[in-house]
Structures are given as structure tokens and as C-alpha cells.
Amino acid sequence: MTSLMLKLRGQLAECGKVVARARLAVAILSIAIALVKLGLWDETRLHVHRAS
């Protein structure tokens, strides 16, 4: 019984990590979108410039 509870607790912890990563990704994307809409993000930063 104890091992089952420990196993379930481990699975919940892993699920929590996945949710936390997903929330972090959404937060970063939201900030990036807001910066673009406010005109604070320069699109040239997204491109790699090659020397001619």
C-alpha cells in the first residue's frame, strides 16, 4: 500500500512539472506577443545576419 502511494505521489510530481513547464512556455510567449504589439521588439533580432 505504501509503495502504491509513493508511486502515485511520484506520478503527480511529474505531472506537476509538465504543467509548470507548459505555464512557463505560455508566459514567455505572452510576453513576446505583448512586446511585438507594443513595438518594443525589433524583428531584426530574430534573423541571423550573414556577412557578405
Q: What is the pLDDT of residues 29-41, one digit of tens each?
A: 999 888 888 887 6
Q: Distance of CA 42 to CAs 13, 39, 45, 47, Å? A: 39, 7, 6, 10
The mean per-residue pLDDT over the stretch 4-20 comes to 86
Rounded Cα distance, 11 and 5, in Å: 10
Helical segments of the chain, H only: 2-38
The mean per-residue pLDDT over the stretch 10-27 comes to 90
Looking at the whole model, is its pTM more than 0.85? no
Domain boundaries, position 4: 1-50
- Cell 530574430 locates to 46
Q: How many domains does the chain have?
A: 1
Rounded Cα distance, 52 and 36, in Å: 29
